[in-house]
Amino acid sequence: MGEWSDYFEDFPEENPANWVNGKFDPQLREQLNREAAQQAVANLEVRQLIMNAKRDRKAKALFDTAVCPQCGEHKLNSYRISETFYLCECQECGIYGAGATHDDAVAKTADSIGEGLDWRDGSLY
Ligand SMILES: [Zn+2]
């Protein structure tokens, strides 16, 4: 690995990473890499803001905790996100379900037993 980096130091035009759209331009490549890194940080910050907002919203919308139909732990949270959007999420095993009513959301959660769902991998909300 050291051999290639030494070689590219001596012959930067041979390094494919220094080319942009078929043109040798290590400064532009460096700028593009820097911008891409800044964009990645910005995206991460936006994602964090959205996650925090959803967590706060859920904290306010939580109205019930029951026994989970999948793992049996008393950790199935029910949220009333809006008048027609109810959500159940187990804090233990991750199973979830949603519906227009609380009964729909509970039924949907029970229907998902064994499907390996985990709301922490990307919930409906
Ligand atoms: Zn569970």
64 forms beta bridges with 78
Based on DSSP, count helices (H) and strands (E) in the chain, helices before strands: 3, 6
Q: Supply the pLDDT for residue 3.
A: 81
Q: Supply the pLDDT for residue 5.
A: 85
Answer whether residue 94 shows pLDDT above 70.
yes
| pLDDT tens digits along 97-116 | 999 999 999 999 999 999 99
CA 46 to chain centre: 11
Q: Supply the pLDDT for residue 95.
A: 96
Ligand 1 is an ion; its neighbours by CB within 5 Å are 68, 70-71, 90, 92-93
Please tell me the distance between residue 1's alpha carbon and the centre of ligand 1 in angstroms. 47
- 123 falls in which pLDDT band (50, 70, 90)? low
Please tell me the distance between residue 68's alpha carbon and the centre of ligand 1 in angstroms. 5
| pLDDT tens digits along 27-66 | 999 999 999 999 999 999 999 999 899 899 999 999 999 9
- DSSP state for residue 1 in the 8-state scheme: -
Please tell me the distance between residue 92's alpha carbon and the centre of ligand 1 in angstroms. 5
Q: Where are the domains of the chain?
A: 2-50, 61-121
One-letter amino acid at 109 equals T
Q: Supply the pLDDT for residue 2.
A: 65
Please tell me the distance between residue 113's alpha carbon and the centre of ligand 1 in angstroms. 9
CB 73 within 8 A of CB 93: yes
Q: What is the pTM of this model?
A: 0.69
87 forms beta bridges with 79, 98
Distance CA 69, CA 76 (A): 8
Answer whether residue 1 shows pLDDT above 60.
no
One-letter amino acid at 70 equals Q
